[in-house]
Structure formats: C-alpha cells, structure tokens
Amino acid sequence: MDRNVNDYLISPDTLLIDAMKKIDMNTKGIVYVCQDKRLIGVITDGDIRRYILKNASIEGTAEDIMNSSPKFIYYGEDINANEYMKTHFITSLPILDKNRNIIEIKFLDKPKSKKESLNVPVVIMAGGKGTRLYPYTQILPKPLIPINDKTITEIIMDHFEEYDCKSFIMIVNYKKEFIKAFFKENEQVRDVHFYDENTFMGTAGGLKLLKNEMNKTFFMSNCDVLIEEDYSEILKYHKTHKNIITMVCALKKEIFPYGTIKTDENGNVLQLKEKPSFEFLTNTGLYVIEPEFLDFIPDDTFIHITDVIQKCIDEGLNVGVYPIREESWMDMGQLEELEKMRERINGK
C-alpha cells in the first residue's frame, strides 16, 4: 500500500473532530472509512458540516457521518479513472484489491474556478485598542499590524475581493487618523468608508452607527481574523435559513492536561479518564448580518455582539451557525497567534 494512502484513511470509530483534522491534513477535502483496511464509507468536509447542522451537535463518529456507498474501482479493471470521476462528479477515486482494501487513490485535477461574485458590503470592526498585542499596538493600531508585506486589514480585504466584495466600511476609534491616512495614501485604491466611534462601544455598539446607512445583507469581520472558506457558501446558508445573523464558528478540540476522576455520592471512584478532550464550536468573529439586526442594538451604549445575538434568540429570531474547520480560521488577537498567522501566510 502506498504510504500516502494512510493520509486518507480513518476507522469507523474516529471522532467527528478527528475526521475533520485528517481532512485538513491531507488537504483534499475527503477521507475514506475502513474497517480492518476494508473500504466501508467515505466522508467529505461537506458531509461533516451537514451532519453538524442537521443534528445540532458536534458529537459523533465516522460511522454516523459517512456515506456507506462510496464510488470505487477494482485494480486491473479496464476503466479510465479520470473519465469515471468526471462522469460521477467526484474528485477522488479509491482503487481496491479483491478484498476491498484500498491500494491507491486517484485524484481529479480540477481547473481553478473563479469565485462566485457576491457584491456584498463588508464591515470591519477596527476600533479596539488591541491591548493583547502590546507593545505593537502602542505604536500601531491593530488593523495596521503587518503580516509579512501587508497589513492584516489588507489581507482581509483581499479575501473578500476574490468574491467581488469591494465595498468596505471600517468602524474606527483608537488611532483612527493613522488608519484613515494609511488607506488614503495607499497605492492600492479601495472603496473604504470610515465611521468614527466617539467612545469605545464594544463589538456591537459601533454597528449602530450604520443604522440609517445599511439596507442590505452584509458581512461583518473583526479586524484580527482571517477565514479561509467559501464565502459564497456561507452567504447561501445564511439566506437559505433566513437568519437575522449567521455566526461562522470553528470546530475546536482541547485536551485537559490532567487525569480526571468521577465519583459517586459516597466518594467511591466510578471512572478514571486520562487527559480527556472536549469538542466545541467557537465564535471566529466573522458574521453575515441582516440590517434588521441593527434594531436590536441600543443607541449610544457599550455592548458586545454576543449580547445582541442573545436578544435575537430571546425574540425567537433565526440565529444560525456555519461550522468550519479550525484550520480555516486564523486569529492574531494575541502575540503567539500573530506569529502563527505570519508563518502560515508565509508558508502559502
């Protein structure tokens, strides 16, 4: 068996989050489920996302998620693998021996397709002091922190411009004149409009400044995050579910570094668990928002977006979550994460 084939294989009892990590590692968007090396199913990153949305849970194993009727061909069959993949609208094809063991995987070379044109406004929240990035932000405001040869804000804009999202609004406060001057004097001319916070308003208070300006669906991003996902799919999900706001959330796994003990009411040990792991969805700081969401933000009030989202939930409005892989999310909110972001972008 080709040693690289193992990069695409998981067992039926593999946890959902570990299946997603395997998909991230092989970069092909797919894994094959094998029982004692025998092919029994296939999982794509889309299958995992649909499972989470349908079941409202990140609990589950590969066996719960997999498509149990994967496409394949046997070694030695007179079948052109590329034509077979094109005919069946798949991008990879396992080659099996007579025992249904995978001995090779063929991949279809897809031409790079142009991103879907969305033409949706983008609001970038750029007013905070960035205290977690001291001493950098004592000199530069966080939106102008350089990531290699560009600022973080320019990279965020680059990602959106791939989808023809070219109208940007920045909510500014701390060192706002630096930010305005940078974009005014930048060689790359962009359509950027600035709204000034007079006081620090939290992650949602500044949005209220747009109450009479925003009349269509828009993206909102924190100024310290990069999301490498298909923005057209995120917008499509938001529209299909008629959400007032959709939160883009990353699936994370944390390992508790100690053994844990569960006891009964008499202090008798019932269970020992060494370094348990916890899976959860975490808010990335990227949203799709309807203008009506702004109605729930009080005037001239410091308030975080999570509090406004809770108001919407309490009112029975649709608040959605679009789950993404942890590796699709980069956050430079802290110095350690800033260096990781630089390394990843430089590696690309």
Least confident of 12-26, 113-127, 157-171, 326-340: 326-340
> Residue 319 falls within a domain, yes or no?
yes
Domain closes at, from 107, 133, 155 = 107
Both 135 and 177 in one domain: the answer is: yes
User: CA–CA separation, 62 vs 65, rounded Å?
Assistant: 5
Closest CA to 176 of 205, 201, 144, 145: 144
Computed on alpha carbons and rounded to an integer, the radius of gyration of the chain in Å comes to 23
Q: What is the pLDDT of residue 347?
A: 61
Q: What is the pLDDT of residue 168?
A: 96
Q: Are 232 and 116 in contact (CB under 8 A)?
A: yes
Both 102 and 136 in one domain: the answer is: no
pLDDT per position as a tens digit, 55-106: 767 888 999 999 999 999 999 899 999 899 988 888 899 999 999 999 999 9
CATH classification of the domain holding 15:
3.10.580.10
Domain tally, the chain: 2
Cβ–Cβ contacts within 10 Å for residue 163, how many? Answer: 20
Both 291 and 246 in one domain: the answer is: yes
> Residue 147 falls within a domain, yes or no?
yes
pLDDT per position as a tens digit, 190-205: 899 999 998 888 889 9
Q: What is the pLDDT of residue 2?
A: 43
Both 232 and 320 in one domain: the answer is: yes
- Whose structure tokens read 């004692």? 36
Domain closes at, from 107, 139, 174 = 107
> Residue 151 falls within a domain, yes or no?
yes
Both 59 and 23 in one domain: the answer is: yes
Least confident of 27-41, 151-165, 279-293, 319-333: 319-333
> Residue 145 falls within a domain, yes or no?
yes
User: CA–CA separation, 252 vs 335, rounded Å?
Assistant: 20
Q: Are 3 and 24 in contact (CB under 8 A)?
A: no
> Residue 114 falls within a domain, yes or no?
no
Residue 231 DSSP code: H
Domain closes at, from 49, 76, 107 = 107
User: CA–CA separation, 116 vs 142, rounded Å?
Assistant: 30
> Residue 304 falls within a domain, yes or no?
yes
**Domain, as residue range, for 81:** 3-107
Average pLDDT of span 164-178: 92
pLDDT above 80: residue 13: yes
> Residue 276 falls within a domain, yes or no?
yes
pLDDT per position as a tens digit, 307-323: 999 999 999 999 999 99
Both 85 and 229 in one domain: the answer is: no
Both 126 and 99 in one domain: the answer is: no
Both 221 and 296 in one domain: the answer is: yes
Strands (DSSP E) along the chain, which ranges? 9-10, 30-35, 38-44, 73-74, 92-96, 102-107, 122-126, 146-147, 150-151, 167-172, 191-196, 218-222, 225-227, 245-255, 260-263, 269-273, 277-289, 319-325, 329-331
Both 257 and 140 in one domain: the answer is: yes
> Residue 333 falls within a domain, yes or no?
yes
Amino acid at 217: T
Both 181 and 262 in one domain: the answer is: yes
Closest CA to 244 of 308, 317, 330: 317
CATH classification of the domain holding 173:
3.90.550.10
Q: What is the pLDDT of residue 3?
A: 47
pLDDT above 90: residue 111: no
Both 42 and 158 in one domain: the answer is: no
Both 41 and 183 in one domain: the answer is: no
